[in-house]
Structure 1
Amino acid sequence: MKNMLTIAAGFPSLKSSFTHIDWEKIGVAFMEHFFQLVLITIIFWIINRIGKHIIRNSFQHHDPIEKQSARSQTVYAVVKNIFKYSVLFFYVYTILSNLGVPVGTLLAGAGILSVAIGLGTQGIVSDVINGLTILIEGQLRVGDSVTIQSIDGTVVSIGLRTIELQALDGTLHYLPNRSISTISNHSRGSQTISIFLRISDPFEIDRAKDLLRDQLASIKQDTDKIKATPIVLAPVVEKTYGYLGVQISAKVKAGYQTPMKTMILDRCLRTLAQEQIKIQN
């Protein structure tokens, strides 16, 4: 409400500037400079087309922009919009100046309104600046597994104002860019997964360790998602309850922690079951 009142306060000054304009004189100037205005329009249209072509070619190296990453597409859209509105501003300025409109007076009158609107849109500006920073620095990519504001999920979309994050339960969260202070990206570099198996009979721990070590020795050859041969340690004391058991840890490709953990656990359980070594949950 306060922002709306602030913006409304800027309108009287702009209205006053319009009342001092000789509109009849501007109408006559329009008829006298009609062909000049057409020529100016054509020139700015050509500038707009050439500028957009140059910008598109600058971003389109080998692949079409539509097939590039979300980051490249967003930066391209921002640059294109900045160019478009810059051309539009100078086009309108040139037209009004040619018609004899006191552009300086209008800008001065609109200054107060601009300040008022600026106060009401501080949040939007913060969103855009933070969004550009995230995109330019490459902190996130669509499909990354991340933790933002204690929310674990997958990045669905990266925009200038918000980031769409899909949580593990399917909930889609829209996070304003200005509220993002810390990003934990789990999709950069290799990730470590860890599995603890509590062996029912402590005297079977060493045998279980040897069996699992032999079973997992060749698992790296079955998939490129596992970066190194899993490490099997035993006997290991579980930290929370102090149980004795076997600890398996492995380096896997970022983003594949869950399926690789499931794959390794499945092989371990099958191997122990075949040798009749019981584990407890």
Structure 2
Amino acid sequence: MLAAVKGQNIIQKYFTNYNWDQMISTFLSTLFSLAVVSLLFFVIHTVGKKIIKKSFHTARKNTADLALGRINTIYTLSMNIFHYAVLFFYFYAVLSILGVPVSTLLASAGIVSVALGLGAQGLVSDIVTGFFILLEQQFVVGDDVKIGTIEGTVSAIGLRNTQITGYDGTLHFIPNRSITIVSNMSRNDMRVLVDIRLDSNKDLEKMKQIVASVNQELTPKLSDLTKQPQILGTVDLGSGDLVLRVIAYAKNGAQYAISRQLRDSYLDALKDHGFDIPTSPLSLTK
């Protein structure tokens, strides 16, 4: 009983003698400092991003397509670097206000070792790989690429990852260290292949003449063509599936539209001349 009373008196004496005014003052001062620092870094972050955006908006004017891709790449990288730099200094300031010895923690070999063990090695690998991607100009923002099993358009290149927008609209985040083989489909002219099934009841040479006349008429209207369509002749796709193959080359991104235009024009012209183009493979066994 006496022990309980004695303990209660000690606690009461502690709270009575505690400097509550100083504690409240310190708490409010710290809270005010945190609010000021947060507001300051928010302004720096917002204004800095606007300055970077405006600067690159000016640089984008009157540039070639490849130069524009490089500018967009540097823009996304600059935004990433600025974002992480602001976050780093913000957290440094917050921890300093809270009285955490940040410098001591950063200089501690044990903390550094733990950080490396928890994934800093992967982060360093991402940054180094991203640097070489930019240095070697493997791809830039706006390029159509295939990385592993992912195909799409490069939408952003960051310090840690590369963002690929798939042709179905899916946004893929790929760690830079995972990028080993890149197939860039935006650096060269793209091949256009058009296969037309044969009408076994019609003359092949007549079919070639019709296709050639379509090429002669349609080619001047296709500004994205880089090489004229050429008739390669008949090709066996297997199992008796014979087609007349036409090949052309177009600017990157235009190959699918040109392929559709050529195919539609061929089929319309052949139909007008009485050709019956089968929709199923041509069987030589019948």
Q: TM (normalized to structure 1)?
A: 0.64
Determine if contact 1:144/1:185 at 8 Å carries over to the other structure.
Answer: yes
Determine if contact 2:106/2:112 at 8 Å carries over to the other structure.
Answer: no
Q: Give the alignment partner of residue 254 of structure 2, picking from 229, 253, 256.
A: 256
For the structure 1 residues 70 and 108, does the alpha-carbon distance in structure 2 shift closer, same or farther, using more than 3 Å as the test?
A: closer
Determine if contact 1:144/1:255 at 8 Å carries over to the other structure.
Answer: no
Q: 5+ unaligned residues in a row in structure 1: which ranges? A: 1-51, 93-100
Structure-to-structure mapping, 1:1-281, within 5 angstroms: 64=58, 69-77=71-79, 106=104, 110-120=108-118, 121-201=120-200, 203-234=202-233, 236-281=234-279
* 1:196-254 deviation line (CA, Å, top 9, x unaligned): 111122642211111111111243321221112100133x1323333233111101101
Q: Supply the distance in 1 between the matched residues of 2:163 and 2:106 (Cα, whole angstroms).
A: 40
Q: How many residues align?
A: 213
Match in the other structure for 1:39: none
Which structure is higher in RCO with an 8 Å CA cutoff and minimum separation 6? 1
Q: Supply the distance in 2 between the matched residues of 1:190 and 1:154 (Cα, whole angstroms).
A: 16
Larger radius of gyration: 2
For the structure 1 residues 143 and 242, does the alpha-carbon distance in structure 2 shift closer, same or farther, using more than 3 Å as the test?
A: farther
Determine if contact 1:220/1:227 at 8 Å carries over to the other structure.
Answer: no
Q: Supply the distance in 2 between the matched residues of 1:202 and 1:159 (Cα, whole angstroms).
A: 59
**What percent identity do the matched residue pairs reach?**
27
Letter in 2 for 1:71: T
Determine if contact 2:105/2:111 at 8 Å carries over to the other structure.
Answer: no
For the structure 1 residues 181 and 70, does the alpha-carbon distance in structure 2 shift closer, same or farther, using more than 3 Å as the test?
A: same
Secondary structure in structure 2 of the residue aligned to 1:119: helix
Q: What is the deviation of 1:183?
A: 0.7
Q: TM (normalized to structure 2)?
A: 0.63
Q: 5+ unaligned residues in a row in structure 2: which ranges? A: 1-47, 62-67, 94-100, 280-286
Determine if contact 1:202/1:245 at 8 Å carries over to the other structure.
Answer: no
